[in-house]
Structure 1
Amino acid sequence: MERIEAITAVHHPVRRRIYDYLSLHGDTQVTMLARELGFQVGSVSHHLRMLKRAGVVEQAPDRTGDRRTSWWRASRQGLSWSADDFSDSPADALLAREAERANVETHVGRLRAWHRRTAPLPQWSRAAFSIDTVAWATPDELESLSAAMTEALRTWQAGLDPEREADRRPIFVFAHGFPTAP
């Protein structure tokens, strides 16, 4: 089970961007991180400390040997939780539900940004996808689907051709599975 501190730390909008950047780019110097994300160095440093306290980022070795710079990296990839994981603590359950809401807003915001783009990206437009379905399942079967999709993404990532690095752009993949009514 995820710790509520990790969940709430990552779902602050600035910290989410920092965490996602570090997850994609690996070890990054704090001033470069601030420049790339358009934030002040002091603000980024504050948010990095909050993420470190939550256990989702860590300081990385200084690649330059300068020792005046601060390097960081994600210490884990992804979070998975349900507000129901925190049913024994109403306060934590409320925080987990708010993080779920923030997570969905992030997902939808990224999808909206993709659809609002003004620059044509023909290759990427053909490659982008949307998958949805309705089906019958038990809670155990839905958990099994989640595990299978997580494993499929990990297998896909592990099989990427390292020779194609220059062709790559960051992508965002998300899926939600939940009970519904037609």
Structure 2
Amino acid sequence: MEEISVITAVHHPLRRRIVDHLLLHETAQVGVLARALDAQVGSISHHLRMLQRAGVVEQVADPAGDRRTSWWRLVRRSLSWSSRDYAGSPADAYLAREAQRLNLRHQLERLQQWNRVSESSQVEAFSTDALTWATAEELIELQQRVSATVDAWRAGIDREDGRPRMPVFFFAYGFPTEV
């Protein structure tokens, strides 16, 4: 079970953008993050410290050996939780539900942003869904298989092969429903 402090740390809007940037670029210097995210260096530094306290990022040595700059990388590449994990604490359960709401909003905003520009893109997106019968355990198994597939796909991408790449966002949900 994820610590609630980790979940709440990541789901602040600017911290989520920092995590997303580091997911794509692996390491980044504070000034680069500030420019890329249109934020103040002091604000980026503050949010990186919050993420560091939660065990999500860590400070790393400057690749060029310059000790005057502050470089960061992710320690955690993914989180998985359910508000039910925190049923013993109403306050934590509330925070977990709020983080789920913010996470869904973030995902839908990305989808809406894509829909606004998709007409002019040379790249096709995809959508997939399924409706079937499953037990709670089978739904957990599906989540684990999807996560493993995405992790293996991501690990198989050779970023050094010289082929042009673009950031790609993928999300999926599986949940009980009614017909």
* Pairwise TM-score range, normalised by the shorter structure: over 0.9
Distance, in Å, in 2 between the alignment partners of 1:64 and 1:48 is: 21
In structure 1, what is the equivalent of residue 26 of structure 2?
26
In structure 1, what is the equivalent of residue 4 of structure 2?
4
Distance, in Å, in 1 between the alignment partners of 2:48 and 2:4 is: 17
CA contact (8 A) 2:34 2:44 kept: yes
Unaligned stretches of 5+ residues in structure 1: none
1:22 shift after superposition = 0.8
In structure 2, what is the equivalent of residue 65 of structure 1?
65
In structure 2, what is the equivalent of residue 177 of structure 1?
174
Distance, in Å, in 1 between the alignment partners of 2:167 and 2:118 is: 18
Unaligned stretches of 5+ residues in structure 2: none
In structure 1, what is the equivalent of residue 141 of structure 2?
144
Distance, in Å, in 2 between the alignment partners of 1:163 and 1:118 is: 27
Q: Specify whether residues 129 and 165 from structure 1 end up closer, same or farther in structure 2 by C-alpha distance, changes over 3 A only.
A: farther
Distance, in Å, in 1 between the alignment partners of 2:12 and 2:160 is: 35
Aligned length: 179
1:64 shift after superposition = 2.7
Alignment of 1:1-182 (within 5 A): 1-117=1-117, 120-122=120-122, 124-125=123-124, 128-162=125-159, 164-182=161-179
1:117 shift after superposition = 1.3
Distance, in Å, in 2 between the alignment partners of 1:146 and 1:110 is: 21
TM-score in terms of structure 1 length? 0.94
Distance, in Å, in 2 between the alignment partners of 1:4 and 1:105 is: 19
**Match of 1:169, SS?**
coil
For the aligned residue pairs, the C-alpha RMSD in angstroms reads 1.4
Distance, in Å, in 1 between the alignment partners of 2:131 and 2:170 is: 19
Deviations 1:30-84 (A, max 9, x none): 0011111111101100100111011101101122322111100111101000000
CA contact (8 A) 2:61 2:67 kept: no
